[in-house]
Structure 1
Amino acid sequence: MNESSPNPLSVAIVVPTYNEAETLPVLIEKVREQNIEGLGFVVVDDGSPDGTGDIADAIADEFNGVFIVLHREGKQGLGSAYRAGFQAALDAGAERIFEMDADLSHPPEVLAGLIGELDNADVAVASRYTQGGGVDPDWSWGRRQISYWGNVGIRMILGLKVKDATAGFKGFRRKALETIGIDRLRLSGFGFQAEVAYRCQQAGLRIVEHPYVFMDRTAGKSKMTFGIVVEAFFHLSWLRIRR
């Protein structure tokens, strides 16, 4: 862990990892190339057997700024990782907190636009489904339909206005996370992102969408399964019913 920094932590990037030894160093370097003032990282590793956590520690030792590595025992879920990472970023004093996947599907070049959106919004969503956004051109027609209509279904279940309900690339002002309450978030898997969107909308936060093109991971193995999606629909439906 390296929390010594000559500048206050302005922008914290929270990155959950599990077996991302190939891609994590590349992501960190590409984000650093964006020359973001007051940049820091929070890496949350769930005991990756490929040594991702050790790689993160090595990067932290050389990083000139805030670089926090949280080591956890085994896979505890995406939502749990983000909750821990968000809290660590807030505790470190971050004013703007972003979430990104470690697999390079979220282009670091989009960060500047998202940061700019937070000048006038509480939450900035990198969106595949707003005008100008899109998905990997190599996706098959069937995969595009599943992604699009799955997103539409989740929006309908929760009554969401945001077009990309399952976006995993977004940023928050500090007060946005404090308003929705990290400890109130319950879902741990695929449905976590939709739950966050729902909580933000219910809290009356100003949410904007910034277009980007989602690209497939360049290395490693996807953690997504059909069972995870079904589970998310069930839990999100229950979230709306309870409300």
Structure 2
Amino acid sequence: MSNSIVIIPTYNEIENVEAIIRAVFDLRKDFHVLIVDDNSPDGTGDCVRKLQNEFKNRLFLETRTEKSGLGTAYIHGFKWAIARKYDYIFEMDADFSHNPTDLPRLHKACENGADMSIGSRYKKGVNVVDWPLYRVLLSYGASFYVKIITGMRVHDPTAGFVCYKRHVLENINLDSVRFVGYAFQIEMKFRTYLKKYRIEEISIIFRDRIRGKSKMSSSIISEAVWGVFVMKLRSLFLRNKF
């Protein structure tokens, strides 16, 4: 029985899902994988079900009724993993923008004392490949903005490649997490930071997806910009609820 589970949310990832699952299972360290699929119409869930016959007791699938946002997908996965007592719980995208070979590095950082480890694009300069300049500037600027507003000394607060020790997620009120888009990543790091857990960043190379379509939208960006400011204010008045 592995003590580590990689949670991968999916929606229309038929072009990537089998390859990303196999890439995780090809690693020397034993990871389990949980796919949280939002009832993808392209057959992503069906593909995972077929692979479960090959990877029994290692590959798991939770199917939700509709597309309900990245944050709620991860929270669904977190609760599933906590109930099954996994010690190390990972977030990773399905599209290979996060390299599965970096999973053991994130795991090692937590094994060596970190409560949360982050695969960071910006710890050592800008390690992003194949993004247009405007998107790099937007992402890097958002990270700087988040640091100023929240006070966190995290270089890549919007990163979605993360390892948590189970006790961190057990001690965060997951039902009170407000964000559902990419700002979810900021909120989870901020809640971890407020509880004074040790956060460590591991430098990675981030690559834009090759197959499939990005889920980024203007509403997601708006949530991140305005939501972070509101989140900081709420934390000052409702700290005991974070």
Deviation at residue 132 of structure 1 after TM alignment: 6.6
- TM value normalised by structure 1: 0.92
Distance between the aligned counterparts of 2:62 and 2:42, measured in 1?
Answer: 16
Task: Give the superposed CA RMSD.
Answer: 1.4
| Matching residue's letter, 2:127 | G
Q: Is the 8 A contact 1:11 1:96 kept in 2?
A: yes
Distance between the aligned counterparts of 1:55 and 1:181, measured in 2?
Answer: 33
Q: Is the 8 A contact 1:114 1:210 kept in 2?
A: yes
CA separation of 1:183 and 1:212: change in aligned 2, threshold 3 A: same
2:16 corresponds to: 23
**1:86-235 correspondence runs (5 A):** 86-119=78-111, 120-131=113-124, 134-136=127-129, 138-235=130-227
Which residue among 216, 225, 240 is the counterpart of 2:232? 240
Distance between the aligned counterparts of 1:121 and 1:148, measured in 2?
Answer: 24
Distance between the aligned counterparts of 1:240 and 1:15, measured in 2?
Answer: 28
Q: Is the 8 A contact 1:14 1:43 kept in 2?
A: yes
Distance between the aligned counterparts of 2:125 and 2:16, measured in 1?
Answer: 27
Distance between the aligned counterparts of 1:174 and 1:199, measured in 2?
Answer: 14
Q: Secondary structure at the match of 1:62?
A: coil
What per-residue deviation string (whole Å, max 9, x for no partner) do you get for residues 108-130 of structure 1? 11111111101111000000010
Deviation at residue 146 of structure 1 after TM alignment: 1.5
What per-residue deviation string (whole Å, max 9, x for no partner) do you get for residues 169-223 of structure 1? 0101111111223223221111100000000000110000000011001100001
Name the stretch that deviates more: 116-125 or 224-233: 224-233
| Matching residue's letter, 1:198 | F
Q: Is the 8 A contact 1:77 1:188 kept in 2?
A: yes
- TM value normalised by structure 2: 0.92
Structure 1 consecutive aligned stretches of length 4 or more whose deviation exceeds 3 Å: none
Q: Is the 8 A contact 1:187 1:195 kept in 2?
A: yes
Distance between the aligned counterparts of 1:225 and 1:139, measured in 2?
Answer: 16
Q: Is the 8 A contact 2:142 2:225 kept in 1?
A: no
Q: Secondary structure at the match of 1:103?
A: coil
Q: Is the 8 A contact 2:6 2:33 kept in 1?
A: yes
Distance between the aligned counterparts of 2:60 and 2:94, measured in 1?
Answer: 15
CA separation of 1:33 and 1:66: change in aligned 2, threshold 3 A: closer
1:4 corresponds to: none
Distance between the aligned counterparts of 1:53 and 1:64, measured in 2?
Answer: 16
2:5 corresponds to: 12
Distance between the aligned counterparts of 1:182 and 1:95, measured in 2?
Answer: 17
Deviation at residue 133 of structure 1 after TM alignment: 5.9
Count of matched residue pairs: 234
Deviation at residue 239 of structure 1 after TM alignment: 1.2
| Matching residue's letter, 2:41 | P
1:5 corresponds to: none
Distance between the aligned counterparts of 1:93 and 1:67, measured in 2?
Answer: 16
Query: Does 2:69 match 1:77?
Result: yes
Give the gaps of 5 or more residues in structure 1. 1-7
Deviation at residue 103 of structure 1 after TM alignment: 0.7
Distance between the aligned counterparts of 2:174 and 2:13, measured in 1?
Answer: 25
Distance between the aligned counterparts of 1:141 and 1:46, measured in 2?
Answer: 31
